[in-house]
Amino acid sequence: MEKKILVVDDEAIMREMATAAFTNIGYTVKSAESAEEALEILKNESFLVMYLDLNLPGMNGVDLCRQIRSDNPVAICHAITAYTSLFELADCRDAGFDDYFPKPTDLNIILKSAETAFEKLARWKVLTTDRPAPK
């Protein structure tokens, strides 16, 4: 059972750090530097756990989450931002985020949130290796 995570952040160091941390504990990780790139990835691959930066060039993370939710309502999306004054928690909840992490966040908390997300998906019995990408 492959546990895949999509990380979307316009800062290369954040993508690299998250990818290394998740990979080191056994997750398969793909990253994107923009919402548009993430949507292209999601056309071809299925990810059920995602970490989305809110302040992205072009489409922001809130709008990206709304798009992901419309295509795949089961996906678990986590918001990550250094701009808490721009993106209110209520807006994030309304967009469909499952959790919200202000930067900087303790990496152990992020890793635990991934574990919890995959446990939830296992309970929901939606995590399979042959699940097709959402349309």
Number of residues that this document lists for the chain = 135
Residue pair 47/91 in contact (Cβ under 8 Å)? The answer is no
What local confidence, expressed as pLDDT, does residue 129 receive? 45
Spans of all domains in the chain? 4-124
CATH number of 4-124: 3.40.50.2300
Strand (E) or helix (H) holding 53: strand 49-53
Mean per-residue pLDDT, 4-25? 96
Can you tell me the distance from the alpha carbon of 96 to that of 106, in angstroms, rounded to the nearest whole number? 23
For residue 23 the two structure tokens come to: 């990979």
pLDDT digits (tens, 9 = 90+) for 27-79: 999 999 999 999 999 999 999 999 999 999 999 999 999 999 999 999 999 99
Can you tell me the distance from the alpha carbon of 135 to that of 44, in angstroms, rounded to the nearest whole number? 9
pTM of the model: 0.88
Query: Helices (H), strands (E): how many in the chain?
Result: 5, 5
